[in-house]
Structure 1
Amino acid sequence: MSETENVLTPSHSLTASDGAPWQIACSQSEVKAPLTQFLEVSNLLLEQVQLNSTHLFRADILRDTSGKLETLAEKEARSQCISRNVKSDAPAGVVDDVATAEQAVPPQFEGFDLHRTIVRRLIPRKPQLDKPLEQSCFIYYSNTSETSSTQKDALVVYIPHCTSSDAMPWYHPKVRGLAYLYSSITPPSSTITATLSIHYLPFPDTPIPLPDRLTRTFQSLLKTIIRLLKLPSKSHQHPTPPHLNGANTTSTPSDISTHPLTPSTLKDTILPQHTVQNTYTLLKQRYAASLISHWIEKTEPSKHVFEDLSIAAFLIELWGGMYGSKVRFNEIAGFVDIACGNGVLVYILRKEGWRGWGFDARRRRTWDVLFGEEMEGCLQERVCVPRPFLGAIGVGEVDGVDVHDGVFERGTFIVSNHADELTCWTPILAALSGGEGSLPFLAIPCCSHGLDGGRKRYTLKEVAESVRDTSARTNSAGEDGVEEEEAQSATGDLKAMRAAKQKASVHGDDKSMYACLTRMTAALAQELGIDVELTLMRIPSTRNIGVVGNRRRVMEFENGEHELKNGVNGLALEDHAGEVEQKIRDLLVRECVSTGGVEASARTWIEKAKKLQGGQGRGKVNLKAHVG
């Protein structure tokens, strides 16, 4: 489209403070959206810049004069787990210093008054190729007296902190400024309330006519905001930041059976987004290319590698906040991945200096081909048969199977990533291993299984009863125990994942298999006296809720310089060890009623374990508690 085609005369001429005229970038479009909705969408685009460019990871808000958007500093202050004594090496080009942010001089526009100023930093997905860019964003309202508050015009202006077109990053249009002009129609009709146009301030060397790429960029920006304006207002309304509305930002549910599992309630509840994403970017630069190029499994590597890199980034930031240093973490006990699968997560964490090991019911080719002798002894082929089950049937029943009883060294951090049969066992193992207390853990539920290892669909009623009632109850699993399968392709292809994630990641159905499994895992932990938190994991999976146990207890005792080793757990519960064991026995009796009791459930578990270790491996499934 040429510069003069379909161009409507703008309601206001935009003139910069230095007298340089702003140019209209593309044709104006008629919209049916009130001013309030335009401002809501503007807030959304200010914070979620990735909606306009796939090359961008996020936008860090450094300053907002209105306080409507939570700044980087406010997120860190609100964070429940920010690294105290350790700081991950910043990825190439990523700057953490908020104090370096400066503000551009606000342009002056005839007929408009400056209402609000925001300074943000654009973070690219590949900082090794493009540098972050700071922008000053200004929001203006028309100042003409004859317009009402609901019929005012608005102007949103973006000024990049860049002095030349040559220095502009690839992901940003090569212009000195960019503006969205919302012009109200008076009086509004039933089909149109305003016109919307995009304007730009060129560099001295900006060619005329505009390059095709720049023209397409302007058209794409206009299409995106128009698409968002057509959505219901509540779908893009930006919530009041937690630090302003006094909301409880903790992720600890008082009633796990009713706690909402929507992204808005779980996102960044423990760690701020930017700290995890910065570490993820660093890990991706270090390991992704090598892991993907040497991948030998039949599954598509992209999903699996990037998922494990994301989880590793979360754990590194989580442990940094809990323990303060790798030295402290490593001297306490380290970590164990009780369903390590291909071993990539264990490998990355150990390469980054965090002590730990993992085990799985079946050895993977990845262990030898990708890691070789470097991981010898750190990845082990074992089946987890929890100690209560071993006690119920006797050790002789498991001859021929390399068993781990699920009891770990005190202080060990348990990682349970899509561990399937071991998911609901995770808090039980944490309580079993702690003696007078319980171990910290991260569980990311996936497919739903009962404590006997069989498939089971939990209900909200069972979740509530696990907290309130210790009496026996019947199994209320779905017909024939059929569960929802994970909405992923068999190969784990990222394209298929993105399509499924649009529908599944919201977890809005409180009665879904995944929602009930997540709640049940947390409820069992609460029943055993474990301090539980829920958080949304930023991973390429529809099964992306993390259940975190005893994080705050570790931090409380670490801050008080209490020891968590040498037999002094530091995570002591009100119950003595014997009382905790009794709680576990009561819990198992109640949960195993529908499967014939504890002994029958134990035998079922062993049968599945033998089949798994002796048969064809199928990834992270049945009883794979691979320790190493």
Structure 2
Amino acid sequence: MDIPKLRASEGEPWMLCCSSSGVQATLKQFLEVTDLLLERVQLNSTHLFRADIIHDSTGQLETLAQKEAKCDFSSSSQTSVGVQDHHCLSLTPPPLQDYQHQRTVVRRLIPRKPQLDNPLEQSCFVYKGGGDTDEALVVYVPHCSETDMPWYHPKVKALCYRFIQGDTDQATLEVYCQPLPNTDSPLPDRLQRTFQSLLSTMVRLLKLPSKSDTAKHAQQPNGKLDPVNMPLTASTLKDTILPQHIVQNTYTSLKETYASDLISRWVEKTEPSKHVFEDLSIAAFLVELWTTTYGSKSSFPGFVDLACGNGVLTYILVSEGWQGRGFDARRRKTWEVLGIDGTHLEEKICIPRPFLDCAHPADLEDMDVLDGIFSAGTFIISNHADELTCWTPLLVALSSPTSPLPYLAIPCCSHALDGSRHRYTLKEVAAGLGTNHQRIDEKTDSQNDGNPATGDLKKLRAAKTNTDTSTYACLTRKTAALAQELGHGVDITLMRIPSTRNIGIVGNCKRIARSRSQDKPRVGNGEQDVVDELQSSNLQDNNDTGSSTPRTSQETINAILQRECSLTGGLQTSARIWIEKAKRLQGGQGRGKVNWNGAQPPHA
């Protein structure tokens, strides 16, 4: 069926490519899915990263500038690509008989491999049928000639979805195209398959339940995110700190620079691409977070990567000019290959200072120990640090009680403060030490919460983050709750990494960014500047979290240590357990994890 008078400026006819009848959907659902596909074009093509909205005549979709403002994004190493280019807004909606133009959206399609394909601007026009009929059209027109058409875009002048609501709850969905001159009839097989794929994706998405709040974040009445009680769903946590396009652009650049080289030099037994791409994604996030927070590399006081594992993340960050170091209990083969072993990567066992204070000197013989106390202003990275995850908020407070260090924690496996595996409950998260807690051995924990070797990653993520009582969800909440109890400014975000353990907890960064935005004159070195900023704004940040005075006091830290270590008989017993595990770590396997070699923990 042809659409009457659906013509471009030269009046070319439209060709029906494929259709599907009996679709259970309403006009409202069709328009909602249209909005979804306008932004998430990657659902239609794996060759595309995303679509950047340049203009929306109705304001329903956020432009890049609006997304940056929403994330409190104050600066970036990139030039904004959200400029309202005049040539991008020059297309006019084609006149269509019996349809009224309702809306115009201009977007930029961003390819995954910019070295192979160029971005493409595209105008999208939404029409509604006249009269009482529930009909709608969405027309997509690329802003380029046939010779400049990227490979990922269908070779057509324009394409169109047509939605027709029947007398019953069933609807018909059609895909039309406006062919280029000299296009074969019937359409080439590849082009026909493309249109069939577009139709299938639309039909599949129309079957999903309507979502009215996918872009809203769970907030407290004062407008701040609630890290303890908020739902840990993807729609709640996506892009709460940094805009997607900023991080993805940096990731693309880092991937092009480092990925092939790192994979080619991989010497570990594990599969390289997953580890390399994950560390590249985290590095991209950190680069943009630091650029936003500190403004320049000269103002950056340095980082420490706790339990750095293969050292790839440290290597990328150092190579990009961000000074820092990583440590792990065991040296990895990769360290020597990367060429930074001994300079930026160190083999040390972390025994937190409160445990060292309980230890006898003889217990520490032949151990190269790090006490977890770092220089003021140091940024702490706790990426899947396992035993050190819940220690992270405590270590940053112990290192600088008046101005807790900034950090990024990405929880993975759940452990108590003594280093033994522990499954936290919501009661423990909300009220400190709950009465309903349980120990789990490594075998049970691995079976229940380990990452499966195969499966649908998206479904695995949804299953973990939607279950508020899961081990991972409670570990994430516990880490955030400890930070909040210590008076830290906390933000939670979904890390765009190839892992089901992908929630990031960012602490104490807004304080630094806020001080920098006040254009305070800088004197001396970058580290001292940051320390001064932290101290001058510490009271304000604690006020943001609901406290009238700074809460990171030694008294608060001691109270938390006593409460949490009571799980294993007190601080002295927990220290003994931790040190015993540290001694056995030399025979362990994996990313800095303790291997009990079949034995039970001393307290079991």
Q: How far off its partner does 1:338 sit?
A: 0.8
What does residue 534 of structure 2 align with?
A: 571
Which residue among 26, 38, 51 is the counterpart of 1:59? Answer: 51
1:386 aligned to 2:352?
yes
The answer as to 2:588 corresponding to 1:616 is yes
The answer as to 2:65 corresponding to 1:73 is yes
Aligned-partner Cα distance in 2 for 1:325–1:558: 11
2:524 matched to 1:552? Answer: no
Aligned to 2:456: 499
- The yes-or-no answer on 1:476 pairing with 2:437 is yes
Determine whether 1:136 maps to 2:109: no
- 1:126 pairs, out of 90, 113, 116, with 113
Match of 1:226 among 190, 194, 203: 203
Aligned to 1:581: 554
Distance 2:47 2:209 in 1: 27
Distance 1:430 1:553 in 2: 15
- 1:412 corresponds, among 378, 382, 405, to 378
2:546 aligns with: none
Matched ranges for 1:291-440 at <5 A: 291-329=262-300, 333-369=301-337, 371-372=338-339, 374-440=340-406
Note closer, same or farther for the CA distance 1:249–1:337 as it changes in structure 2 (3 Å cut): farther
SS in structure 2 of the partner of residue 26 of structure 1: strand
Does residue 36 of structure 1 match 2:9? no
Once residues 494 and 66 of structure 2 are traced to their aligned partners in structure 1, the CA distance between those partners, rounded to angstroms, is 19
Give the one of 237, 247, 252 matched to 1:281.
252
- Please say if residues 249 and 269 of structure 1, whose CA atoms lie closer than 8 Å, have aligned partners that are also in contact: no
Separation in structure 1 between the aligned mates of residue 528 and residue 156 of structure 2, nearest angstrom = 62
- The aligned counterpart of 1:87 is 77
Return the alpha-carbon distance in structure 2 between the equivalents of residues 37 and 504 of structure 1: 25
User: Residues 479, 385 of structure 1: CA spacing in aligned structure 2 closer, same or farther, 3 A cutoff?
Assistant: closer
Partner of 1:534, secondary structure, is strand
Q: CA deviation at 1:152?
A: 2.3
Q: Which runs of 5+ in 2 are unaligned?
A: 543-548, 596-604
Q: Distance in 2 between matches of 1:364 and 1:208?
A: 60
User: What letter corresponds to residue 152 of structure 1 in structure 2?
Assistant: D
Task: Say what the alpha-carbon RMSD is for the aligned residues.
Answer: 2.5
Question: CA contact under 8 A between 1:487 and 1:542: conserved in structure 2?
Answer: no
User: Which of these residues, 256, 262, 266, is aligned with residue 237 of structure 2?
Assistant: 266
Within 2, Cα distance between the matches of 1:579 and 1:458?
Answer: 23
Moved more, 31-40 or 597-606: 31-40
Q: Map Cα deviations across residues 588-611 of structure 1 (whole Å, 9 max, x no partner).
A: 111111201101100100111111
CA distance in 2, matches of 1:263, 1:251: 19
Shift of 1:31: 1.6
How much has 1:257 moved relative to structure 2? 3.5
Question: Matched residues in 2 for 1:442 and 1:611: separation?
Answer: 28
Separation in 2 of the partners of 1:520 and 1:172? 46
Relative to 1, partners in 2 of residues 1:232 and 1:431: Cα closer, same or farther, differing over 3 Å?
A: same
- 8 Å contact from structure 1 (residues 115, 140) kept in 2: yes
**What residue in structure 2 maps to residue 448 of structure 1?**
414
**How far apart are residue 81 of structure 1 and its match?**
3.3
- The CA deviation string for residues 59-80 of structure 1, in whole angstroms up to 9 with x for no partner, is 1111111111111111112222
Conserved in 1, the CA contact under 8 Å of 2:279 and 2:313? yes
* CA displacement, residues 266-294 of structure 1 (integer Å, 9 cap, x when unaligned): 11001000000000000000000011111
Count of residue pairs the alignment pairs up: 576
CA distance in 1, matches of 2:222, 2:242: 11
SS in structure 2 of the partner of residue 442 of structure 1: strand
Q: Does 1:599 align with 2:572?
A: yes
Report the alpha carbon displacement of residue 99 of structure 1 after superposing the two structures with TM: 3.2
Could you tell me which runs of 5 or more consecutive residues in structure 1 were left unpaired when the two chains were aligned: 1-8, 467-471, 491-495, 624-628
Alignment-derived partner of residue 545 in structure 2: none
Distance of aligned partners of 1:172 and 1:602 in 2 relative to their CA distance in 1, 3 Å threshold: same
Q: Which moved more, 1:199-208 or 1:317-326?
A: 199-208
Check whether the contact 1:124–1:132 (CA below 8 A) recurs between aligned residues.
Answer: yes
Partner secondary structure for residue 362 of structure 1:
coil
Whole-Å separation in 1 of the counterparts to 2:148 and 2:450: 43
C-alpha contact 2:582 2:594 (8 A) present in aligned 1:
yes
Distance change in 2, residues 1:394/1:474 (3 Å): farther
Q: TM-score, normalised by structure 2?
A: 0.90
Which SS does the other structure have where 2:156 is aligned? Answer: coil
- C-alpha displacement of 1:619: 1.8
Q: In structure 2, what is the Cα distance between the partners aligned to 1:554 and 1:458?
A: 32
Whole-angstrom CA distance in 1 between matches of 2:177 and 2:441? 62
CA distance in structure 2 between the aligned counterparts of 1:104 and 1:397, rounded to whole angstroms:
75
Contact 2:486–2:551 (CA under 8 A) maintained in structure 1: no
Q: Which amino acid aligns with 1:29?
A: S
Alpha-carbon distance in 1 for matches of 2:583, 2:440: 26
Over residues 126-162 of structure 1, what are the superposed CA-to-partner deviations in whole Å (9 max), with x where a residue is unaligned? 110000001000000112x3x2xxx321000000001
Contact 1:269 1:535 in 2 (8 A): yes
Write the deviation string for residues 214-242 of structure 1: whole angstroms up to 9, x where unpaired: 011011111111111122223xx574678
- Normalised to the residue count of structure 1, the TM-score between the two structures is 0.87
Greater shift, 452-461 or 560-569, is seen at 560-569
C-alpha distance 442-579 of structure 1, shift in aligned 2 (>3 A): closer
Give, in whole Å, the separation in 2 of the partners of 1:279 and 1:474: 46
- Alpha-carbon contact 2:52-2:82 (below 8 Å) kept: no
Task: Return closer, same or farther for 1:425/1:499 CA change in 2, 3 Å cut-off.
Answer: same
Whether the 8 Å contact between 1:434 and 1:569 is mirrored in structure 2 is no
486 and 540 in structure 1: CA distance in 2 versus 1, 3 angstrom threshold: farther
Structure 2 match to 1:19: 11
Task: Write the mapping of 1:533-544 to structure 2, written as runs, cut at 5 A.
Answer: 533-544=491-502
Measured in 2, the distance between the counterparts of 1:473 and 1:487 equals 25
Q: Given that residues 473 and 590 in structure 1 are in contact (C-alpha distance below 8 angstroms), is that contact kept between their aligned partners in structure 2? A: no
Mark the CA change 1:282 to 1:240 in structure 2 (over 3 Å): closer, same or farther: closer
Distance in 1 separating the partners of 2:129 and 2:349: 69
- 2:4 & 2:29 partners in 1: Cα distance? 21
Percentage identity across paired residues of the two chains? 55
Query: Which amino acid in the other structure matches residue 602 of structure 1?
Result: A
The answer for the alignment partner of 1:525 in structure 2 is: 483
Work out whether residues 63 and 119 of structure 1, in 8 Å CA contact, stay in contact via their aligned partners in 2: yes
- Decide whether the 8 Å contact of 1:486 with 1:542 is kept in 2: no
**Distance 1:132-1:520 versus aligned 2 partners, 3 A rule:** same
Q: How big is the shift at 1:103?
A: 3.8
Is contact 1:82-1:317 (8 Å) kept? no
C-alpha distance in 2 between matches for 1:603 and 1:513? 25
Secondary structure of the equivalent of 2:206? Answer: helix
Q: Measure the CA separation in 2 of the matches of 1:39 and 1:594.
A: 53
Q: 1:363 to 1:597 in 2, by over 3 A?
A: same
Sort the Cα spacing of 1:396 and 1:585 in 2 relative to 1 into closer, same or farther, 3 A: farther
Contact 1:40 1:238 in 2 (8 A): no
Match of 1:50 in 2: 42
